[in-house]
Amino acid sequence: MSLLTALTKEVLTAILKSIDEGIHVVNMEGKTIFYNEVAARHDGMKVEEVLGKHILEAFPSLTAESSTLLKVIQTGKPIYNQTQVYLNLHGVRIDTINTTLPIFLNNEIIGAVEIAKDYSRMKLLAERLLELQKGLKQNKSKNTLKQVNYTLSDLKTVNADFIRMKEEAKRMAKSDSPILVYGESGTGKELFVQGIHHESLRSNGPFIAQNCAAIPESLLESILFGTAKGSYTGAVERKGLFELADGGTLFLDELHTMPIELQAKLLRVIEDGIVRRVGGTENTSVNVRVIAAMNVHPSEALQEQKLRYDLYYRLNVFTFPLLPLRDRKEDIIMLTDLFIKEFNRKLGKQIQGINQTLELFFLDYKWPGNVRELKHTLEYMVHVCDSGKLSWHDLPVILKQQSGNWNQDNRGNEGLSLRRNVEELEKKLVTEAMKQAGGNINQAARLLEIPRQTLQYKLKKLT
Ligand SMILES: Nc1ncnc2c1ncn2[C@@H]1O[C@H](COP(=O)(O)OP(=O)(O)OP(=O)(O)O)[C@@H](O)[C@H]1O
Ligand SMILES: [Mg+2]
């Protein structure tokens, strides 16, 4: 052995001994040639009990099929982030998340290395979280087991496409098929999903909502599917959200943040209605309707590999895209009116709508936060307004800036341009008619004395 090789080996050994992950290396015969203290601690073994022994001799509960190290030697293919549950020589159950890689020398496989993270601590955290949630539930605070506060009729709209979608949702609510709802933040997904549950034959059953982004990836599995007693240190028998939602609806928000491997498991449960707790052996049938939501477009989530194609195809049958507010101008007008009335009531005010300049800005503004942003903006404005109508002065500072730019862009070079002025006047008249008609296109068209189709075209142009 050259000096360099010997040195490299020393350095490598020192590193592998000191890192926080368990490292286990086997040769082509399946015999352990390196095994660090951390791996020994995970496994509840002594290094000497494993070193030099064949994997199946040191870990009798494993088989040639279930051992990832042996599999990688056979196939030469890496296995990433696999959870592993096994009994060590002392009969203690072990939980790890493993990445197992083949080792090649001159293009020839000479062994495999497994890097293992202790999973038990994470699971213990999952337990604590579930305990906490249970405690909260008993306190009747805001938690995953939600009260359904909204019906589809709370989702206000005068947009023809949205109205059609609500009608379809009402029909689909009666079926048990899974549903996917997507739309930008603040477009009403939560309202829509609660509305579907309310319309469904399960409305008396539980409605459980889980935001997949709110839980560390490694805990989500235990939260969704539950845990079996003894599956790791301190684990108790516990139902997951699927079992808790039995007879009702499980709402999985921000589905695209769910780890892709877990999505495969979710698909299986949706297909056969059977769950198995993490570390458990028993199968339980559940009758749960899954509704998923995302604030990104499915095509984007698919492309970025945040959503599995097979899961998407399963959910795709009933997919509801909720339109951004800027694409339904008539709703901007109707909702502005509605929210002003609501906040008048709440704040004891008597605001009579908004002035025309502000209205034009509202119609032109992109509303990235959609209805939520409109609602909060109006709450603020009604609060600060001390005249009869909301005007530019009442806008929150951030929108005032936007409105300033908008005014310059839209009015700066207005001058004598007949086209621009006519367009502007038309915009004003259309907006006013829509307002007087309470967002009803037929009625607004009558007021303007133009055909409905022409008005629809003009409204589209305003978008
Ligand atoms: N069509 C609507 N009619 C009345 N209120 C609405 C409508 N759409 C949304 N809202 C209101 O806007 C707010 C945001 O709605 P919701 O929580 O359903 O949005 P979301 O799409 O789930 O957003 P996020 O992706 O940020 O979770 C709520 O206060 C809701 O009541
Ligand atoms: Mg939401």
Residue 234: CATH number of its domain: 3.40.50.300
pLDDT of residue 128: 64
Domain range for 429: 328-462
pLDDT (0 to 100) of residue 142:
39
pLDDT at 127: 64
The 3-state DSSP class for residue 15 equals helix
CA 63 to ligand 1 center in whole angstroms: 52
pLDDT of residue 320: 96
Q: Is pTM, for the whole model, over 0.75?
A: no
Residue of 165, 182, 190, 329 with the most ligand 1 atoms within 8 Å of its CB, for mutation: 190
Order of all β-strands in the sheet with 179-182 = 207-211, 249-253, 289-294, 179-182, 319-321
Which of the listed residues 321, 356, 388 is the one where a domain comes to its end?
321
Same domain, residue pair 150 and 279: yes
Dihedrals phi, psi of 260, to nearest 5 degrees: -60, -35
Residue 317 and residue 341 in one domain: no
Residue 119's pLDDT is: 66
**What domain count does the chain have?**
3
Instruction: Give the 3-state secondary structure of residue 421.
Output: helix
Measured between alpha carbons, how far is residue 373 from residues 65, 332, 359, 376 in Å? 55, 11, 15, 5
Cα angle value 103/105/111 (rounded, 5°): 35
Ligand nearest to the CA of 184: 1
Please tell me the distance from the alpha carbon of residue 331 to that of residue 371, in angstroms, as a whole number.
Answer: 9
Residues 6+ apart with CB under 8 A from 369: 185, 186, 376
From 154, 163, 187, the mutation candidate for ligand 1 (largest count of ligand atoms within 8 A of CB) is: 187
Beta strands in 72-206 (DSSP E): 79-87, 93-105, 108-118, 179-182
- Tell me, using a 6 A CB cutoff, whether residue 294 lines ligand 1: no
Which stretches of the chain score pLDDT less than 50? Answer: 138-143, 411-414
By the 8 A CB rule, do 249 and 200 touch? yes
With respect to residue 265, please indicate whether it lies within any of the assigned structural domains. yes
Give the per-residue pLDDT at 63: 87
